[in-house]
Chains A and B, each alone.
Chain A
Amino acid sequence: MVAVVLFIALFLAVLVLLVVVGYLFSPRRPSETKERRFEAGGPPYGPVQRRLLMQYFGYVYLVTVVEAAVGLALVAVLTADAGRAALAPLAAALVVAIAAVVAVVWRYFKLLADVRRWG
């Protein structure tokens, strides 16, 4: 436990120290141009926070569901008893789960990639 605390404390201390050193000792000449948003050389133009529709959100929906299933599988695998007797039901469950995921992805693969449907 000491090691973990030491690691975290030292790691964070180094990181913060470097920033503080930079902040204190680096030359500073602030100007309005420096502090404004990067807009490829021009002044900031238009708002940033817009409704940004990424056409690939299908994948994000998919990952939220699938990841939960995989997480459950991980827990099941790690908590399973050793030996062949315990392996059979685990294997069956895993195969079913993965087959289901693969089947769903296979079925809707085209739809996921079709940007016109997600616009």
Chain B
Amino acid sequence: MDFPSPLSGDLVAALVFPGVLGIFGFLVVAIWLERKLVARVQWRYGPLYVSRPLGGLLQPVADLFKLVFSELVLPRHTNRLLFAATPILLFFAEGLPVVFIAAAPGVVMAPHSYGLAIAVVLVLLVAVLMVAMAWTEADKFTYIGAMREILLTAAYEVPLLLAALAMFLLYGTADPHKVVEVQSGLWGVLLNPLAFVVYLVALLMATTRFPFEIPEAEPEVVLGPYTEYGSTLFIYAFGANYVKLYVLSLLGAVLFLGGWLPAAGVLGVLITLAKMGVFVLPAMLVRAIYPRYRIDQALRIGWGQLLALSAAAVLWSLLAAWIW
């Protein structure tokens, strides 16, 4: 594939989008956007004073600097090496699935015929590291947070997999390029709206957004799995969820919204980026709209309505595949 740049497509993917720059850039923009949007609903300004002409866009950058240069406290009762290593690994692992997702034709690090399926599985595997992190902290609140993380994973895992299964069934492939090619007629969201809804709700659960912000419910478990962290490690522990949101939005854009269609090249990358907003914006806005469910209610939703909906989505896909 020709790409009008000195770098080849896969290097662009690794360095710019959806690679390293994209992940850190997303972290800044998403945190700013969330604070700004929610403030809008809540009769506030949100971030303002750092870079006033930009509407406070650089506030997260300032926060990042502040956090990096604040004292790194490693509690004595923990395994200090693991305590420092697990958030790094967590953040890294959350970003790993982008290796297999294409942002535009050729802009993918590892083209693989089962790429999207591998990405989905990688996303699901990360919960293990989150639990490991909470376990390493050895604190009562992180302990409960870890339990809740496990349970929440149990609630969304099967619906998420079934939603992905429904789409793979429809497309007959998990290769990101082919998946997008198939959608040149109709986007996945129109081919199977049920799967899209399931995916969106599962995304909210997976990234512990409201109303499923249960593992880090403040009035109960302080900050859940991140309670003990400060300094740079807090950025990683806390930012890992935003990276997950990034990965799942990118995956969703490719799986449901036709990825870079109708363009290619640089424009295709930008279109993919814009389409990610369809997942990111609701995930930001729910914070202003919903309180949080209890963990038992989230489990009931996951194994009740969401499972039924995802089973229906698979059946829908079977029917659609039959007719097609």
Chains A and B in contact, CB within 8 Å: yes
Given the interface pairs A48-B139, A56-B296, the reply to whether A22 lies near B68 with Cβ below 8 Å is yes
Whether B117 pairs with A113 at a CB distance below 8 angstroms is no
B138 an interface residue at 8 Å Cβ cutoff? yes
Query: Measured between C-beta atoms, what is the minimum distance from B100 to chain A in Å?
Result: 9
B207 an interface residue at 8 Å Cβ cutoff? no
Cα-based distance from A10 to B20 in the complex (angstroms) = 7
Q: Name which of B157-165, B253-261, B262-270, B276-284 contacts chain A.
A: B157-165
B109 and chain A: residue at smallest CB distance? A3
Query: Measured between C-beta atoms, what is the minimum distance from A18 to chain B in Å?
Result: 5
Whether A6 pairs with B11 at a CB distance below 8 angstroms is yes
Q: Name which of B190-198, B244-252, B310-318 contacts chain A.
A: B310-318
B15 an interface residue at 8 Å Cβ cutoff? yes
Q: Name which of B36-44, B46-54, B140-148, B285-293 contacts chain A.
A: B140-148
Given the interface pairs A7-B20, A19-B84, A19-B88, the reply to whether A34 lies near B168 with Cβ below 8 Å is no
Cα-based distance from A29 to B315 in the complex (angstroms) = 61
B75 and chain A: residue at smallest CB distance? A35
By DSSP majority rule, is chain B's interface helix, strand, loop, or mixed? Answer: helix
Whether B162 pairs with A25 at a CB distance below 8 angstroms is no
Partner of A2, one of B11, B157, B307: B11
Query: Measured between C-beta atoms, what is the minimum distance from A115 to chain B in Å?
Result: 7
B223 and chain A: residue at smallest CB distance? A38
A residues in contact with B161, CB < 8 Å:
67, 70-71, 74
Q: 0/1 per residue, A104-117, Cβ < 8 Å to B?
A: 01000100110100
Whether A38 pairs with B141 at a CB distance below 8 angstroms is yes
Q: 0/1 per residue, A1-29, Cβ < 8 Å to B?
A: 11110111011101110110111011111
Cα-based distance from A102 to B235 in the complex (angstroms) = 40
B residues in contact with A52, CB < 8 Å:
143-144, 147
Partner of A11, one of B95, B300, B315: B95
Whether A63 pairs with B158 at a CB distance below 8 angstroms is yes
Which residues of A come within 8 Å of B, CB atoms? 1-4, 6-8, 10-12, 14-16, 18-19, 21-23, 25-30, 34-40, 44, 48-49, 52, 54-56, 59-60, 62-63, 66-67, 70-71, 73-74, 77-78, 80, 82, 84, 87, 91, 94-95, 98, 101-102, 105, 109, 112-113, 115
Which residues of B come within 8 Å of A, CB atoms? 10-11, 13-15, 19-20, 23-24, 67-77, 84, 88, 91-92, 95-96, 99, 109-110, 114, 117, 138-141, 143-144, 147, 150-151, 153-155, 157-158, 161-162, 164-165, 168-169, 172-174, 222, 227-228, 231-233, 235-236, 295-296, 299-300, 302-304, 307-308, 311, 314-315, 318, 321-322
Sample of 16 A–B contacts (CB below 8 Å): A4-B110, A7-B19, A7-B109, A12-B88, A16-B88, A18-B232, A26-B68, A26-B71, A27-B71, A34-B71, A38-B228, A39-B140, A63-B153, A78-B168, A101-B307, A109-B303
